[in-house]
């Protein structure tokens, strides 16, 4: 595990992230941690005025799903390799507010800061910064700024900026601007950093400057999108006369406000900003939409926006909050993670959730399996309507997945891209990209979870079944029966990216078996319940009547490598015959291995980047005995580096299940504060959304032992020694269930819904409106 580059600590506050005193050494990191977003707009936590200090910085603004595309250049190409990359663009910086006190420009890297505090409040959704600064020339000012990215309107953000001269009366100038001269960061050698393209991607179409309104219109070259970024600024200066003038430079638009300030009297600037792109609306409507939205926001005012924001979050926490009493650091980490997930997740059916959300350029704004296997459960059980939008996004990508399947020589079916924004395969390194065919099963798995939790047959008939059937067919395309009659899936890569291009990856095969059976089941269900829809799907996919039986047969004969001598599931056919990595002689600084060894060196060894078989133990829980789980855990733990942030949460959950409570806690701690403590040393490039959601799974699946298998819900809760209690809620089958675990008892309460049945350590529990709550001893078993 990498060490954080600079030590940093935040006061432990269950509902806030607070920086007390400007931490210049961690400027880059804090820009990520204090980022604001609403699933569409992402504003890194950079200062409005910029910061000229020497610490690293990336003043990024992103729009989920707004991308440029570039041809991928392979010095040595091959047939079928991904042709075009898509990368999330750094869009115009509309936060900018510059301040001059007399002729001295405010910049925290100059003069003296006598007070500084910055707070991100998870309940209000407001980022507040307050400070006192003395200019090099001795002018002292107080500044309080508040920033909001509106949850209720994906296009809108706002800043309120209040300045009070403390020992100075005289000229003050405020400039509120949009800066369109922006570009993305270059990736260098680290594949996790950003895009390989340098130089500006947005070309200026025009600038519109009209009193308080300023806008910049730009166009992307290859992806062909138009973007309008616009602001509206107003100033309340008490009695002082304000001279407003337009402020325009080559790619900068805005307004400048000059006035004579009086010591002790506050001046307030309020700025609203919007982004509208032709990915969402016809190009000719963008400017009008931007103007209309700004006029409306201005008329409602900043306080109204704050009230709306707080109300949105109140509702969110009412459903999603996970309370952990007894460990403040964890409580803060948990809520910080949930808050960032909400900030990151696209919910318009056209966007998804990127590996780094909208907080940075790491992984280029791409969507991976992280969504379905790590993030989906959190939304499914906390905010099912958002989970549904994530599935809508996949349905929208089905035509491209079909196209990709043909490019990959599969005559039937659909193959989803390993990484993408708009549905095209963007992985340039196929051994750890396209070869991860398990993406198809991961998507099917999330649809299965959704269907079992919601019973939404309508969705299955309209979209879900079609995805499941089309993706299942790919297994028939790449798999074949060997001489022993086993169905083998060759030349794929499983979740563990330190092992590539193998035969019969256990995870892939076990998930494919689940997928094929589910496809056959759902074909039967939709055929029976919605024959007209089934006929539509069968026609679109040219499905033959014999196919479901073929899926069942392949599932029944699936090769699932098992080593009888060790009593463990083998990660793939060859894994156990490889040499074990020499961990003892690998210096700490050589981790993550991917930055220090050629892939072939890594692939030749038994060494895992992340959970692979161990993940199957969770997702297909009922297919393994506890003894199996223990042996697999022991074996794979010894060869896993956890170089991927997707690993620790899964090890924590299985450790809980097999009774390794200390390990469960330690792995959980690593996940829960992974970004807050920057344990992977790269949070400055963006948060790790999969690990963040892994924290939720660590509580629900880990400590509370929740599993949903073929629709059946069960719990087996334990209480970590350090905690007084924990509590969370889940939406399932139209009910809202609260689970509260305290020393000596577990309380299950039905908060909404007529009834709910589940098991607690095998013992049947039935809650109804008449008897909505039970208390059970955690150890009580059937």
Choose the stretch contacting ligand BGC; rule: CB under 6 A; options: 86-94, 343-351, 368-376, 468-476: 368-376
- Which value, in Å, is the radius of gyration of the alpha carbons in the chain? 27
Question: Is 255 assigned to a binding site?
Answer: no
Say how far apart CA 231 and CA 214 lie, in whole Å.
5
Piece of the chain touching ligand BGC by CB under 6 A; list 8-16, 128-136, 182-190, 361-369? 361-369
The least CB distance from residue 592 to ligand BGC, in Å, is: 9
Contact between 699 and 726 under an 8 Å Cβ cutoff? The reply is yes
Among 31, 364, 372, 497, which one carries the catalytic annotation? Answer: 497
Rounded CA-CA distance 707/465 in Å is 23
| Of residues 152, 176, 310, 182, the one with CA closest to residue 247 | 176
Size of the site for ligand BGC (CB under 6 A): 12
Indicate which single residue of 10, 368, 487, 591 sits in contact with ligand BGC (rule: CB under 6 A): 368
C-alpha angle 487/490/495, rounded to 5°?
Answer: 110
C-alpha to C-alpha distances, 636 to 45, 408, 608, 642, nearest whole angstrom: 39, 32, 8, 11
**Judged by CB, which is closer to ligand BGC: 454, or 640?**
640
Burial 174-213 (b: 16+ CB within 10 A, else e): bbbbbbbebebbebeeebbbbbbbeebbbeeeebeeeebb
Q: Which stretch binds ligand BGC (CB under 6 A): 261-269, 367-375, 486-494, 499-507?
A: 367-375
- The contact mask relative to ligand BGC for 645-664 (x = CB under 6 A, - = no) is -x------------------
User: Is 610 annotated as contributing to ligand binding?
Assistant: yes
Stretch that binds ligand BGC, among 126-134, 322-330, 365-373, 540-548 (CB under 6 A): 365-373
Q: 270 or 682: whose CB is closer to ligand BGC?
A: 682
Segment near ligand BGC (CB under 6 A), from 141-149, 180-188, 363-371, 546-554?
363-371
| Closer residue to ligand BGC (CB): 26 or 610 | 610
By CB under 6 A, tell whether 302 contacts ligand BGC.
no
Residues 472-501 close enough to bind ligand BGC by CB under 6 A: 495, 497
Distance separating alpha carbons of residues 47 and 200, to the nearest angstrom: 22
Q: Cβ of residue 432: shortest distance to ligand BGC, in angstroms?
A: 7
Say if CB 685 and CB 360 are below 8 A apart.
Answer: yes
Other CB atoms within a 10 A radius of the CB of residue 609 amount to 22
Token pair, residue 680, equals 């992977």
Shortest distance in whole angstroms from residue 192 CB to ligand BGC: 7
Q: Which is nearer to ligand BGC, 274 or 615 (CB)?
A: 615
Positions in 627-646 near ligand BGC (CB under 6 A): 644, 646
Taken in order 579, 580, 583, 589, the sign of the CA dihedral is positive
What is the distance between the alpha carbons of residues 565 and 636, in angstroms, rounded to a whole number?
15
Q: Confirm whether residue 317 is marked as ligand binding.
A: no
Nearer to ligand BGC, 51 or 368 (CB): 368
- Smallest distance from ligand BGC to CB 738, Å: 31
Task: Name which position in 31, 179, 327, 370 contacts ligand BGC (CB under 6 A).
Answer: 370
- Give all strands (DSSP E) within 107-225, no chain letters: 112-121, 126-134, 140-149, 156-165, 170-179, 202-210, 213-220
Residue placing its CB nearer to ligand BGC in the complex, 60 or 495 = 495
Assess contact for 119 and 128: CB atoms under 8 A. yes
> Using CB atoms within 10 A of its CB, is residue 77 exposed (0-12), middle (13-18) or buried (19+)?
exposed
Do the Cβ atoms of 645 and 685 come closer than 8 Å? no
Residue 190 CB, nearest approach to ligand BGC (Å):
11
Instruction: Please list every residue from 574 through 613 that binds ligand BGC, using CB under 6 A.
Output: 609-610
As a whole number of angstroms, the distance between CA 338 and CA 375 comes to: 10
Compute the least distance from the CB of residue 510 to ligand BGC, in Å.
17
* Interatomic CA distance for residues 312 and 154, integer angstroms: 13
Nearer to ligand BGC, 530 or 642 (CB): 642
Q: Give residues 95-134 in contact with ligand BGC (rule: CB under 6 A).
A: none
**Least spacing, CB of residue 495 vs ligand BGC, in Å:** 6
Binding-site member from 363, 430, 575, 696 for ligand BGC (CB under 6 A):
363
Interface pattern 330-359 for ligand BGC (x via CB under 6 A): -------------------------x----
**In 577-694, beta strands by DSSP E:** 579-580, 605-606
* Min dist. Cβ of residue 181 to ligand BGC (A): 30
Structure tokens belonging to residue 589: 């600084």
Token output for 646:
């997707």
φ and ψ of 100, to 5 deg: -120, 130
Which of these segments, 364-372, 391-399, 469-477, 759-767, binds ligand BGC (CB under 6 A)? 364-372
Q: How far is the CB of 32 from ligand BGC (least distance, A)?
A: 15
Choose which of 690, 716, 739, 746 interacts with ligand BGC (CB under 6 A).
690
**Helix extents (H) in 96-149:** none
Is 361 catalytic? The answer is no
Of residues 355 and 746, the one with the C-beta less far from ligand BGC: 355
d(CA 168, CA 135): 11
Is 370 assigned to a binding site?
yes
Can you say whether the dihedral through the CA atoms of 101, 103, 104, 105 is positive or negative?
A: positive
Please state the residue numbers annotated as binding site.
Answer: 369-370, 609-610
| Active site residues per annotation | 497
Q: Which residues bind ligand BGC (CB under 6 A)?
A: 355, 363, 368-370, 495, 497, 609-610, 644, 646, 690
Please state the residue numbers annotated as binding site for substrate.
Answer: 369-370, 609-610
């Amino acid at each position: 595990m990498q060490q954080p580059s600079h030590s940093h600590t935040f006061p432990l506050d269950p509902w806030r992230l607070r920086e007390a005193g400007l931490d210049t050494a961690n400027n880059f990191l804090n820009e990520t941690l204090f980022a604001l977003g609403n699933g569409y707009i992402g504003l890194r936590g950079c200062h409005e005025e910029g910061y000229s200090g020497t610490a690293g910085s990336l003043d990024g603004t992103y729009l989920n799903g707004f991308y440029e595309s570039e041809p991928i250049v392979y010095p040595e190409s091959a047939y079928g390799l991904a042709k075009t990359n898509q990368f999330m663009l750094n869009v115009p910086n509309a936060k900018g507010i510059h301040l001059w006190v007399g002729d001295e420009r405010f910049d925290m890297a100059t003069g003296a800061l006598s007070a500084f505090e910055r707070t991100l409040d998870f309940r209000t959704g407001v980022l507040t910064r307050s400070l006192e600064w003395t200019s090099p020339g001795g002018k002292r000012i107080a500044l309080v700024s508040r920033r909001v990215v509106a949850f209720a309107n994906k296009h809108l953000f706002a800043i309120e900026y209040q300045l009070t001269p403390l020992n100075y009366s005289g000229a003050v100038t405020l400039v509120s601007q949009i800066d369109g001269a922006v570009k993305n960061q270059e990736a260098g050698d680290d594949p996790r950093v950003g895009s390989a393209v340098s130089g500006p991607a947005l070309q200026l179409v025009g600038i519109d400057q009209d009193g308080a309104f300023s806008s910049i219109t730009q166009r992307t070259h290859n992806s062909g999108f138009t973007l309008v970024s616009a602001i509206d600024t107003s100033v309340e200066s008490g009695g002082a006369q304000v001279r407003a003038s337009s402020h325009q430079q080559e790619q900068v638009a805005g307004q400048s406000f000059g006035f004579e300030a009086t010591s002790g009297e506050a001046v307030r600037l309020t700025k609203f900003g919007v982004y509208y792109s032709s990915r969402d609306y016809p190009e000719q409507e963008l400017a009008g939409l931007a103007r209309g939205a700004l006029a409306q926001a201005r008329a409602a005012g900043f306080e109204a926006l704050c009230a709306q924001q707080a109300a949105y979050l109140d509702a969110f926490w009412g459903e999603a909050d996970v309370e952990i009493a007894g460990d403040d650091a964890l409580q803060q980490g948990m809520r910080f993670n949930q808050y960032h997930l909400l900030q990151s997740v696209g919910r318009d059916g056209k966007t998804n959730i990127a590996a780094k959300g909208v907080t940075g350029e790491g992984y280029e704004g791409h969507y991976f399996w992280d969504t379905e296997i790590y993030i989906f459960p959190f939304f499914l059980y906390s905010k099912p309507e958002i989970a549904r939008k994530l599935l809508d996004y996949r349905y929208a990508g089905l035509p491209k997945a079909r196209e990709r399947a043909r490019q990959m020589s599969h005559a039937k079916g659909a193959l989803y891209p390993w990484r993408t924004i708009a549905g095209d395969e963007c992985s340039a390194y196929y051994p750890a990209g396209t070869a991860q065919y398990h993406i198809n099963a991961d998507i099917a798995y999330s649809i299965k979870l959704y269907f079992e939790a919601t019973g939404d047959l309508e969705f299955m008939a309209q979209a879900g079944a079609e995805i499941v059937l089309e993706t299942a067919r790919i297994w028939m395309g790449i798999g074949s029966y060997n001489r022993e009659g086993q169905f083998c899936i060759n030349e794929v890569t499983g979740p563990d990216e330190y092992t590539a291009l193998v035969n019969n990856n256990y995870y892939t095969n076990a998930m494919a078996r689940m997928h094929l059976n589910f496809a056959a089941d759902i074909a039967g269900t939709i055929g029976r319940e919605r024959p007209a829809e089934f006929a539509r799907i069968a026609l679109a996919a040219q499905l033959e009547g014999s196919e479901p039986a073929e899926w069942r047969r392949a599932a029944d004969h699936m090769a699932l490598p098992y080593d009888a001598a060790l009593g463990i599931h083998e990660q793939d056919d060859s894994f156990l015959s490889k040499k074990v990595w020499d961990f003892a002689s690998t210096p700490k600084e050589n981790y993550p291995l991917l930055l220090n060894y050629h892939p072939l060196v890594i692939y030749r060894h038994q060494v895992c980047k992340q959970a692979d078989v161990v993940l199957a133990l969770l997702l297909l829980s009922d297919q393994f005995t506890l003894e199996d789980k223990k042996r697999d855990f022991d074996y794979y733990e010894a060869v896993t580096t956890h170089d991927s942030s997707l690993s620790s949460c899964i090890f924590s959950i299985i450790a809980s299940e097999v009774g390794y409570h200390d390990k469960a806690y330690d792995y959980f701690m690593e996940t829960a504060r992974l970004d807050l403590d920057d344990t992977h040393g790269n949070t400055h490039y963006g948060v790790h959304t999969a690990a963040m959601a892994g924290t939720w799974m660590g509580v629900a699946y880990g400590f509370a032992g929740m599993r949903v298998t073929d629709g059946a819900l069960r719990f087996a809760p334990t209480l970590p020694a350090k905690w007084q209690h924990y509590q969370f809620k889940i939406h399932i089958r139209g009910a809202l269930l609260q689970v509260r675990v305290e020393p000596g008892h577990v309380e299950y309460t039905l908060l909404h819904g007529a009834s709910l049945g589940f098991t607690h350590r095998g013992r049947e529990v039935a809650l109804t409106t008449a008897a909505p709550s039970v208390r059970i001893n955690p150890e009580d078993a059937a």
